[in-house]
């Protein structure tokens, strides 16, 4: 029985001892080996054509011309939000009249006259954010107009290449959900740059 254990121990010793030519490496040897591998990899990258730097074109490839379809979608979302401005701007318990910007006398609802559309002009910068926004009178300085400005100023469209883009919209403040581009809805025409 002892011979078996002694034979097994000898076998394990020979198997684990193996052929360790260099012995245990010192930290300096390991560091030198790592530096040599790193230098070899750098030389391959410099000489190889597979490692061409394409980071300059990546940002340009992401940008494209004005995306009419996406801009229309984002502007419709903001317009629906702006349409609720006459109902959401309150002074105490009374709604503010979208035409005059003042609360109506008594408890009457805001006047729904012929001048219940706000004409809005938006200028988009190349990064897709609204650069300037103007609202036509009488909404340019009253609370309803400021609410419309806040709703539409939040629009962000995809970044694009080219000149700054202007959009003209009419916001229906009667609650009829009839807001849209000035002149009616645009056809699904090809993308127009500029």
User: Would the pLDDT of 26 be above 70?
Assistant: yes
User: Would the pLDDT of 143 be above 50?
Assistant: yes
Torsion angle (degrees, nearest 10) of CA 132, 135, 136, 141: -110
Instruction: Please give the mean pLDDT across all residues of the chain.
Output: 75
User: Would the pLDDT of 50 be above 60?
Assistant: no
The domain locations on the chain are 65-99+117-181
Q: Please report, for residues 100, 102, 114, 175, the alpha-carbon distance to residue 105 in angstroms, rounded to integers and kept in the order given.
A: 12, 9, 20, 21
Backbone angles phi, psi at 22, to 5 degrees: -90, -10
pLDDT tens per residue across span 99-109 = 776 655 553 34
């Amino acid at each position: 029985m002892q011979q078996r254990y002694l034979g097994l121990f000898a076998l394990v010793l020979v198997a684990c001892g193996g052929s360790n030519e260099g012995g245990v490496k010192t930290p300096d040897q390991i560091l030198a080996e790592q530096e040599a591998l790193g230098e070899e990899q750098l030389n391959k990258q410099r000489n190889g054509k597979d490692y061409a730097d394409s980071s300059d074109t990546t940002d340009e490839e992401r940008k494209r011309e004005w995306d009419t379809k996406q801009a229309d979608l984002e502007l419709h979302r903001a317009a629906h939000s702006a349409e609720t401005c006459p109902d959401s701007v309150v002074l105490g318990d009374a709604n503010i009249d979208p035409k005059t910007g003042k609360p109506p006398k008594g408890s009457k609802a805001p006047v729904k006259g012929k001048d219940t559309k706000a004409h809005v002009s938006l200028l988009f910068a190349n990064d897709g954010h609204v650069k300037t926004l103007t609202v036509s009178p009488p909404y340019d300085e009253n609370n309803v107009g400021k609410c419309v400005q806040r709703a539409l100023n939040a629009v962000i469209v995809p970044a694009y290449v080219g000149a700054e883009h202007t959009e003209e919209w009419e916001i229906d403040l009667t609650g009829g959900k009839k807001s849209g581009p000035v002149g009616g809805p645009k056809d699904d025409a090809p993308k127009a740059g500029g």
